[in-house]
Each structure stands twice: as structure tokens, then as C-alpha cells.
Chain A
């Protein structure tokens, strides 16, 4: 009997210990990003990151201003959201409210396939197909622009947006719709004035989670945005995002240099931004589930 009890508590401790692994990993991420980024605080100093020029390798004077990278990431995220939001919400509403049962069964695997395509394959597809198309449609000198990147990222955000908004739309009680229809509202009015507003917080959370995915995406943007570290608000120019900068430059940078720690600082900023987005999205989702 005593042996049994010891075994029980041993198993319990083992399982609880394994469960704490997630907490440990999150702490280690912060610790090791901070550790590698730390030297930058002393030399050349954190305020260097606030500059407007990213030129970590230079014969005259290196500068580590992440402003162009930040605007690059924001521009692409903004454009991708602009593209994926209407398409994703439209798709979610169509699948859950308008389409037939057969269509629903047809769409599900397609969305899952899209979610499963590795980003490097999408990047390759962008290089081969979307880049040349944007180039010829908008008469540009190069297809490697912010717009091309945003189109690809929209493709990546759409599965997230659709699956979470669809859940939200489906979670709207049937009585809401029935009441609206009974009052003489058409199906269209019911969908847009009752169902969608009732599911709005879920849809907002879906879009924010999609944005989190977009801002952290690396390979596709690295491959198709042209990677010029310039400050621009034009979708037809080449931009360089924070993620792409880390991926492109980490391979060539001397360990322990200021440039090396600067790249870790970009990682820390990315971590904070995505963490914030996810937290807010989760709050919104939780609130909506309680109602």
C-alpha cells in the first residue's frame, strides 16, 4: 500500500515537472535573448537602435537604427492585413452561413492545406509567380516589393483568420438569428447586422492572431521583398523586415560584435510585439467566450 502511494506521488511529480517545461522554455528564451543582446547596452548603447539608418557593416560609421526595419515590418503587416481581412472574413461567413454542407466539407481540407504549406515553399512560389505578376501588372522594374510580400503573407494569415472567425460565427446562438428572421429581416440583414456583430470580438481576435503570424514570418518575406533597408510607405518599393534582417545577417556576423547583439535586440523587440498582440487577442477571445 505504501509502495503504491510512493509510486502515485512519483508519477505526479514527474508529470507536473514535465508540465513546467513550457514555463522554463519561455523564461530561457527571455534570458538567452537578453544575454546575447546585453553587450549592446554598454557599447554602443541602446539609444543607437532608435536611429533611422540600418548600416551595421560600414567603412565609415556603423549605425544600428531599426526604424527602417520597423517600418518595413509594419508596412507589410498593414498591407497583408488589409488584403487578408476582407477575404478571410468573407470566406468565414460564406463557409459558416451561406455555403451548403457539401461546400463546407470541400473548403475545410483546402484551408488546412494552405495552413500546412511551408513558408519557404510559399516564398518560392512568390518568387516564381507572384513577383513577376506584380511586376507586369504595376509596370515595376522589379517584382520584389512590399506588395509581393504582403500578398504572400495574406495567404498565410487567411487560414488563421478563417478558422478562428468561423468558430466565433458558429458560436453565435441560433436564437439570435431566429429572432432576427422572425422579425422579418432578410438573411443578408441577419448575417451582417446580427451574426457578424455578435461574433465580432472573435473575428477581431482572429485577425490579431493572423497579424501575429504575419509580423513574425521570416522566410517568405526574406525571399520576395527585395530586402532594401529603406524607410518607405509605398507598397511598390523594396523593404526589409525585422525577421528577414535577422535571418539574412546572422550567418555572416562575427559572434559577440555589436552587430550580433543588435540582431538579438531585434529578436527581443519582435518577441515583445508578438507577445502583446497574442495577449490582447486571447483576452478578447476569453471575454467573448464568457458571453
Chain B
């Protein structure tokens, strides 16, 4: 039967395409790990850069990225979770809800460099924060807000309606119901989704380029109004702005590996945590 043969061969073509895609992904990770691992040392992780980053460590960049991520979480997590609670528990279908949903979709699609321009215009210049950790964190928070809202709402929606109805029937108020019967079962789900957004914030370069990142600043920040170095921007600088690009290759690969380990580590943590939560609460 010729049809059978054709079917098998087309399936094989698709199989090869899909597997080569996997091979490319694996190659990217292995290439960076392979070239980056020899650079990783205690001195590299905890030392200060020298000769505009050509030698020494990347501590200020690691610290900068961690500070930015912390700031982003502090701003975006409560706002995002509250938005999700509103959409899932309070909102009726109407104008206001429609506009919130429209705004979330719009925000999710705004290019990261446009967030950078926005952060520059609003936080850095208009609110006179200057290029600072504060301005950068606020900009990143705006960027990851949609991710947090959408995934938190999903976690809330997964809680069965019966739990809410039971609580309300016993005379609890709306907020009591949410606090005691909905949030305890959804908060871990909300957090995992948020971690994925936070991983994205840690790896973004374009928004911090215009709002916080310092080209070369071999010291730790003292306040939230200081500029900092950040891992993604540092990698960009090392890869494209150095006159002796070949000489700093180990530094480039080392920085890339630390950044990728940080972001993928966060993601992996979120995914493992998510699978656990899913097993724990099965309704």
C-alpha cells in the first residue's frame, strides 16, 4: 500500500524536524556550559571586575540583578495577585473588567524596549528617580505584571466553586471566604506562575538598558537610588563593546553561564514546585 509508505516517511520527516529542534536547544545549553564552566571560580563569582570587565569577577553584576529582581517582586507580586483576586473573585462582566483584560493583553504584547522608553520617560525623568535600582525595578515590574496576573488567576480558578459556596453558606463574608478557603489552596500556584515571570525579569536587558544599568561600576550599590551593573547588560557589554573581544571570551561565556543558570534555575524550581502542587491538590 503506497499510502502507508508515504505516511511513514512524512512522519519520519516530522520526527527529524522536531528532534533537530531539540538538538539545537541542547547544543545552545551545552555550548555555553562547556565554554563557561572553566571560568566559574570563587573569585569570578565574588570578585570585582577589573580593566572594564576584561578581568576579575562579576559580583556587582550578580548583586545588581538580584537586587533588581527583589525590587521587581516587591512591587509586582502584591499588585499582580490583587488584580488576579479581583478578576477571579469579584469581577462581574462589565466595562471595567473588559478594560482590565484589554490592558493586560496590551501590556503582555508591549516590546521590552518600549518598556525601557516608558521607564525612562516616567520614572527616570518625570519622577526624577534618575537611573537607579528603583526606576529599573518599577519598569521590570510593569513588564512582568501580566504574567503574574494571568498565572495567578489560573491558580485561583482551579479552586473548586464548592469550597467558596460552602464557606458563604456558613455565613462567612466574601473576604473571609477568599482568605480562608480560596487563598490557602491557590497561593502556591500563584507563586509558581509568578516565578516564571520573575525569571523573565532577571534575563531582560532592554528595559534596564535605559533605566538602571551601568556600563562599568566595580562597586556595590549603597541605596535604591544608585545605579548598578546587571548580568544581562554586562554580557551585552562584554560581547559587543569591548575592543579586544577575543581576549575576554572566557569572561563572556562565564557571565552567560551564570545568567542562564540563574534564569533556568528559577524556571526549573517553578516547574518542579508546580508539579508538586498539582499532585497535592487534586479536586
Instruction: Report which A residues bind B (CB closer than 8 A).
Output: 4, 7-8, 11-12, 14-16, 18-23, 25-26, 28-29, 32-33, 35-36, 86-87, 90-91, 93-95, 98-99, 106-107, 109-110, 112-114, 116-125, 127-129, 155, 158, 186-188, 209, 212, 215-219, 222-223, 243, 246-247, 250-251, 255, 263-264, 267, 270-271, 274-275, 277-279, 282
Contact = CB atoms under 8 A, between A and B. Distances in A.
Contact of B106 (A11, A121, A125, A278): A278
A270 B113 contact: yes
Interface stretch (B115-123, B159-167, B180-188): B115-123
Contact of B14 (A93, A117, A247): A93
Interface of B: 3-4, 6-7, 10-11, 14-15, 17-18, 21-22, 24-26, 28-29, 31-32, 78-79, 82-83, 85-87, 90-91, 96, 99-100, 103-118, 120-122, 125-126, 142, 145-146, 149, 173-175, 196, 199-200, 202-206, 209-210, 232-233, 235-236, 239-240, 252, 256, 259-260, 263-264, 267, 271
B243 to A, nearest CB: 16
A218 B113 contact: yes
Contacts, number: 240
Given A247-B206, A275-B109, A124 B235 contact: yes
A44 B206 CA distance: 28
Contacts of A109: 271
B17 A243 contact: no
Contact of A94 (B18, B28, B111): B18
B176 to A, nearest CB: 9
B113 A246 contact: yes
B149 A22 contact: yes
Contacts of B173: 4, 8
Contacts of B263: 116-118
B104 A22 contact: yes
Contacts of B200: 116
A120 B236 contact: yes
Contacts of A278: 105-106, 108-109
A44 to B, nearest CB: 20
B86 A264 contact: no
A275 B107 CA distance: 9
